[in-house]
Amino acid sequence: MEAMHIEDSFKIISVTGAHSGVGKTTLCAVLLENLKNFGGIKFTKTSLYTSVVNDINILSEDGKDTAIFLKAGAEKVIWIQSPGGDELEDALNVALAKMTGLKGVVVEGNSPLVFLKPHLIIFIIGPNGEVKPSALEVCRKADIIVINSETKISDLSLLPPELQEHSKIFWIDLLGKKGEIDKFIACSKQYIE
């Protein structure tokens, strides 16, 4: 399959999350600020159509998540919009092909994980431990868990049982850009070096 050859040519980091608004885009930006020669793929679920956007004028528009990726230092950025299924797989193949020549790519979104074999899967959860039902399977696959909270959560019992035994859990206040960021980056780099 074509995607397997493409995926073998660079490192893939999959950034997934418990629900929308949990901080996936911000965490992607943190990664892109700290990883050189990496690109970013943003996935947005749509109801009717699939598109692969690499027009820099669209990607760099203020307020777009793709602009955040670019500002963070992504070498290339692609925005995939898709309802999922085979159309998403085809769109991912196109997007990944555009990333050749880079050391790696950060892919934001839960749905792309179905079609990828990333070197690192990161799952973000908020301080209340809420996980939408469709994200439970994703969190079971995670290599690293990030708790996005203004204060460090020491009582991990509020996390879903799937996460409570996880050995690599980091606390990061993504809005305040504080917490265990350095430890998280160092751990992440172990998966892609």
- With cut-offs at 50, 70 and 90, classify the pLDDT of residue 2: very low
CA-based radius of gyration for the chain: 16
> Are 138 and 175 part of one and the same domain?
yes
17-42 per-position pLDDT tens digit: 999 999 999 999 999 999 999 999 99
> Are 46 and 109 part of one and the same domain?
yes
- Boundary residue ending a domain (118, 144, 169): 118
The residue written with tokens 């919009």 in the block is: 81
> Are 114 and 138 part of one and the same domain?
no
Residue 99 has pLDDT above 90, yes or no: yes
> Are 54 and 114 part of one and the same domain?
yes
Q: Which domain holds residue 68?
A: 29-118
> Are 107 and 159 part of one and the same domain?
no
117-140 per-position pLDDT tens digit: 999 999 999 988 889 988 988 988
> Are 110 and 148 part of one and the same domain?
no
> Are 111 and 142 part of one and the same domain?
no
> Are 86 and 154 part of one and the same domain?
no
> Are 37 and 88 part of one and the same domain?
yes
Residue 167 has pLDDT above 90, yes or no: no
3-state secondary structure the chain: CHHHHHHHCCEEEEEEECCCCCCHHHHHHHHHHHCCCEEEEEEEECCCCCEEECCHHHHCCCCCHHHHHHHHCCCCEEEEEECCHHHHHHHHHHHHHCCCCCCEEEEECCHHHHHCCCCEEEEEECCCCCCCHHHHHHHHHCCEEEEECCCCCCCHHHCCHHHHCCCCEEEEECCCCEECHHHHHHHHHHHHC
46-82 per-position pLDDT tens digit: 988 999 999 999 999 999 999 999 999 999 999 999 9
Q: Write down the pLDDT at residue 53.
A: 97
Please tell me the distance from the alpha carbon of residue 171 to that of residue 125, in angstroms, as a whole number.
10
| Residue 67 located in a structural domain | yes
Residue 4 has pLDDT above 50, yes or no: no
- Boundary residue ending a domain (58, 91, 118): 118
- What does residue 146 show for φ and ψ, rounded to 5 degrees? -115, 125
Q: How many structural domains are present in the chain?
A: 2
Q: Write down the pLDDT at residue 1.
A: 35
> Are 91 and 141 part of one and the same domain?
no
| Residue 106 located in a structural domain | yes
Cβ(93)–Cβ(2) below 8 Å: yes
> Are 44 and 94 part of one and the same domain?
yes
- What does residue 16 show for φ and ψ, rounded to 5 degrees? -120, 170
| Residue 1 located in a structural domain | no
- Boundary residue ending a domain (118, 145, 175): 118
Mean pLDDT throughout 162-185? 89
| Residue 99 located in a structural domain | yes
Q: Report the residue count for the chain.
A: 193
The residue written with tokens 């690293």 in the block is: 144
Mean pLDDT throughout 85-97? 94
Cβ(95)–Cβ(118) below 8 Å: no
Percent share of the chain, pLDDT over 90: 76
Name residues whose C-beta falls within 8 Å of residue 68's C-beta, 6 or more positions apart in sequence.
25, 26, 28, 29
